[in-house]
Amino acid sequence: MINLEQKKHVYTVSELTKYIRVIVEESFPGIWVEGEISNFILHSSGHMYFTLRDAGSTLKCAFFKHSNLKLKFKPKDGMKVICHGSVSVYEARGDYQLIVEDVEPKGIGALQLQFQQLKEKLEKEGLFDDKYKVPIPFLPTRIGVVTSPTGAAIQDILNIARRRFANIEIIINPVKVQGVDAKDEIAAAIKQFNELKIIDVMIVGRGGGSLEDLWAFNEEVVARAIFASKIPVISAVGHEVDYTISDFVADFRAPTPSAAAELVIPRKEDLVDLIKTATERLNNAISGKLDILKEMLDGLKESYILRQPLNYVIQMQQRVDDLRKDMSVSIGHAVEMSGEKFNSIISKLEALSPVSILNRGYSITKKLPEGIIIKESRSLRSGDCIETRLGQGKIKSRVEEIV
């Protein structure tokens, strides 16, 4: 008889979970999974956690920092993506999950998505606003160029400068224009020109290429360096159809490096012609003004005042005498009027004066020593000293009886 208890194997939870993890990892070592991102979390450690879902199911995903450092765009909820990785089991919870190694947006390239995300971010911050853009100088004496020293762009700029205005000085700050280090070199060169303050305007750019070739000019560090520049910046990247983040931030966008050079470097012959035209106009204006002044001078020569200057002085002296006489009469009349008004006021004041009342037989009595005017008899007592003022003189007396 077989003992079933001896053949039965009982797994612990950990043992079963590890066994399932081995089976799952060996069965799905590297797969592509399509879905929509939800519950996206960027952990402080740099790891990304999210859920992929479709109409019927969900799948937990872990995208660790060492794998997501080269990601060209920022994942967010609702984004449809294709993830590459391997299926594993998180033993602590017994959950199966996708360990993501790479993510691609579905229907749009990763670089194009990164471009759109950064463009929207900087536009919301106001880095593209026209109010921050400064005008390009009409005739700069020094032009700074941030580009590759070996590329076609700098040769085009130098050729145009020699042809249009050889007197203008070109200062090149050489940088890489593509590759991992390009963005930092470009941003540092822009900052260095601002620190040195030796140029009037700056051209930042390169010749044409693919989106990947031009990508350094779509980096945020370059965009912020251009925005922070106190020197006017012309962005000249690629061909006419190419647009980069630098184009939107710069003070002016040129379709090509050659166009940037033609924009900022005027033709010397045109300036000479302009000066000649302005000189002729100035000479004509001065001649015309001199003719007018000569006519005025001739007219003054024939005027009475210059032919008989002494007579004019005599007439002015007579005029002064007349004005002095008129002024004396006016002042005398004003004084007389004021005197009459003053006498009238004095008469009114004298009529209202208490002294005038006393002269008509009235008197004023005060209690001594306080000097209080007596208005009624009950304010006095027998024996009080009083003073009576008449129209002429005063009388001091003592109260004997109050009736």
CATH of the domain at 18: 2.40.50.140
The pLDDT tens digits of the residues spanning 91-137 come to 888 888 898 998 888 866 677 788 888 999 999 999 999 999 999 99
Report yes or no on 298 lying in a domain.
Answer: no
Cα 33–38–39 angle (5° rounding)? 125
177 in the same domain as 257: yes
Residue 9 has pLDDT above 80, yes or no: no
User: Is 125:227 a contact under the CB 8 Å cutoff?
Assistant: no
Residue 206, domain member (yes or no): yes
**Out of 11-25, 75-89, 151-165, 171-185, least confident range:** 11-25
Q: What is the pLDDT of residue 6?
A: 55
Dist. CA 155–CA 202, nearest whole Å = 16
Q: What percent of the chain has pLDDT over 70?
A: 93
- Cα 302-303-309 angle, rounded to 5 deg: 115
Among 235, 266, 297, give the residue marking a domain's end.
266
Which residues is 394 bridged to in the sheet? 389
Count Cβ atoms below 10 Å from residue 76 Cβ, excluding itself: 12
Q: Is the pTM for the entire model greater than 0.85?
A: no
Amino acid in position 205: G
Residue 231 binned pLDDT confidence (cut-offs 50, 70, 90): very high
Q: What is the pLDDT of residue 358?
A: 63
Name the residue range of residue 227's domain: 141-266
Across the beta sheet with 394-398, what order do the strands follow?
372-373, 364-367, 385-389, 394-398
Q: Which of 108, 64, 57 is nearest to 82 (CA)?
A: 108
Q: Is residue 353 helix, strand or coil?
A: coil
Collect contacts of 127-133 with beta carbons under 8 A, ≥24 apart.
127/223, 127/224, 127/227, 127/248, 127/249, 128/248, 128/249, 132/227, 133/251, 133/252
Beta strands 372-373 and 364-367, pairing class: antiparallel
Q: What is the mean pLDDT of the chain?
A: 86
Total count of domains within the chain:
3
Which is more confident, 362 or 36? 36
